Amino acid sequence: MVQKTVAIEERQVEFVEAYANYGFHNSDELIAKALDLLQEELQRAQSLVASAALHAELYETDVEAQEWEATAAKDWN
């Protein structure tokens, strides 16, 4: 376990100090869970960006997909 001092805003202090209201045994437990959730969210966002980039790259080289999309777009007009 590593201890780290961080600066947070007053509203964040109030949230952390209310750890018991959220079912945590102590503030460390709440902060650890919050960091885990943030890490998962950021990793998911990075994965979506990478997936979108791969999709765009594949689409650029897939003439059939481009034709299919053009045909589908015409049907919407």
Number of domains in the chain: 1
Burial 2-29, CB ≥16 within 10 A → b, else e: eeeeeeeeeeeeebbeebeeeebeeeee
Q: Torsions phi, psi of 25, nearest 5?
A: -80, -25
Of the pLDDT bands very low, low, confident and very high (cuts 50, 70, 90), residue 77 is low
Q: Report pTM.
A: 0.70
Domain that holds residue 54: 10-76
Q: What is the pLDDT of residues 25-58, one digit of tens each?
A: 999 999 999 999 999 999 999 999 999 999 898 8
Question: Could you give the angle at the alpha carbon of 21 between the alpha carbons of 41 and 2, nearest 5°?
Answer: 55
Q: Is residue 3 part of a domain?
A: no
Has residue 31 been placed in a domain? yes
In a domain, 5, yes or no: no
